[in-house]
Structure 1
Amino acid sequence: MSYAFPPGGLPDQSVDPEGTAVFTPAYAVLPAVTQRDIVTSYLPGWRDMRMWVLARPLSGFAETFSQYAVELRPGGGSDAPETDPEAQSVIFVAQGQVTLNIDGQRHIMAPGGYAYIPPDAVWTVWNDGESVAQFHWIRKRYKPAEGVDTPEAFVTSDKEVAPIEMPDCDGVWSTTRFVDPSDLRHDMHVNIVTFRHGGRIPFAETHVMEHGLYVLEGTADYLLNKDWVGVGPGDFMWLRAFCPQACIATGDGPFRYLLYKDVNRHMPL
């Protein structure tokens, strides 16, 4: 399996600047080609890192989450990566190796590695390897619910969790669920959705969950509101709640994306 990440670099002066990025009140598309060196950000308390901010809470944009693509050079990392004690995180490793320590438990994570980090956890993340490490980092402020415990930390991987086939689709559409959907402790899900060649979402979904989608591999035509958009590895999509969506996989190999959505809580009034 392959896991896309921002390409960095900078196109040369012969490249036509007209691109396929789209920003609307209902959805946004940030193609991989826009994720270059000159749009990276840095954080205090980190060493030898840079990151691409793909989504952040913003009027007319993401409301419930932020999403980063973080790159660590050898020896890079942080002993205090999270500054918000109410924030929970998911880390998904794309390339290289990271050492994640959560409340004293040390984990070596390779490509495809997945970690859930609850609010108030004490954690660190470092690249102890000899090559660059790259990971996706999704953050959401946790919403407690009466009578519901806070989730516990866990570390697993894409290879360790079997995809679940969607009904009535002959196996061409499946979802790798790292959290049981009926576990009400969790107020967000970060899954991997997979379509085999020709697989599709056979209706235009509209639902209350906000989405962030990062294409890990493959290509598809994706319906966003009323527009069909071609997407491929490294492209990021944000979908506002109730934005109609569907997709049709177009490549010979699988089309896979990392999917965020907010779940299992009352709507704030």
Structure 2
Amino acid sequence: MTYHVPRGGLPPQTALTTDRAVFTGSYAVLPARTMSDITASLLPHWKGTRLWVLARPLSGFAETFAQYLMEVAPGGGSDAPEPDAGAEGVLFVVGGQVELTLGGTVHTLTSGGYAYLAAGTTWSLHNRTGEKASFHWIRKAYQRADGVGLPDSFVTHARDVAGVTMTDTGGAWSTQRFVDPSDLRHDMHVNIVTLQPGASIPFPETHVMEHGLFVLQGKALYLLNTDWVEVEAGDFMWLRAFCPQACYAGGPGPFSYLLYKDVNRHVRLTL
């Protein structure tokens, strides 16, 4: 599987300014072109690394999570990547190769590699190769629940996680679930959703879960609240809780996206 990898750089001076970027009270779209050199950020304790912040807790924007698209140069990485002991994380590699040390065990992650990092876990990450590596890093403050144990960290690969076909779609719509949905230790899911050409989400989903969607491959027409928006590989979408959503996969190949959602916890009644 080939996933979108950011290119950086800048559009030429001859390019049109008009684009599909939009920010509303119920959703936002960050097209792939917005991930340029001038929008990249740096982090303390990360060497040879830049990133694009796709989502962060912000009034009127994401409430439950942050999502980074990381680019690590050869020889780059960090021995102290996560500053918040209460943060859990998911890493999903889209290009190149990284070396993840987790609990004293070294894991080599290539494109499609996935790691869940439980809150309080000690880990480090380095690029030991001669090519740059790119991965998504999704972070969330873990919400403990009385009487429910803490989840364990784990490492896997997308090729080892079978897609679960959605009911009555004949395989046209499937989800690779990296965590058992009935495992209440987990308060977030980060999955891969794939729709084959011509497949659709045939009704406007409207629910309490907040979403972050990064398009890994393909293109589609996506319903966001009351607007139909064209999206393609490299685009990021944020959907507020209860934002209506549906889509048609455009082809000619599959349409896949990395999907974040918050799950399995009571609604907070006070701030």
1:153 alignment counterpart: 153
CA contact (8 A) 1:57 1:63 kept: yes
1:253 positional shift: 0.6
Task: Tell me what 2:128 maps to.
Answer: 128
1:100 and 2:104 correspond: no
Could you tell me whether the CA contact under 8 Å between 1:95 and 1:111 is conserved in 2?
Answer: yes
| Residues 56 and 62, structure 1, Cα contact 8 Å, conserved in 2 | yes
Matches within 5 A, 1:1-269: 1-269=1-269
1:7 deviation in Å? 2.3
Query: What is the total number of aligned residue pairs between the two structures?
Result: 269
Post-superposition CA distance 1:23-73 (Å, at most 9, x none): 000000000011101100001111000000000000000000000000000
1:112-162 C-alpha deviation (Å, 9 max, x unpaired):
000000000000000011100000000000000011111001000110100
In percent, how many aligned pairs have the same letter?
Answer: 62
Distance 1:22 1:10 in 2: 19
Flag as ranges the 4+ runs of structure 1 deviating above 6 A: none
TM-score, length-scaled by structure 1: 0.99
Q: CA deviation at 1:5?
A: 2.6
Q: Distance in 1 between matches of 2:111 and 2:20?
A: 28
Aligned partner letter, 1:227: D
What root-mean-square deviation, in Å, do the aligned CA atoms of Structure 1 and Structure 2 show?
0.5
Inter-partner Cα distance in structure 2 for 1:169 and 1:18: 37
1:85 maps to a residue whose letter is: A
Post-superposition offset of 1:19 = 1.2
SS of 2:160's equivalent in the other structure is coil
State the alpha-carbon separation in 1 of the partners of residues 19 and 118 from structure 2.
38
- Deviation of 1:18 after TM superposition, in Å, equals 1.4
Note if contact 1:100-1:126 (Cα within 8 Å) is conserved in structure 2.
Answer: yes
Residue ranges of structure 2 left out of the alignment (5+ in a row): none
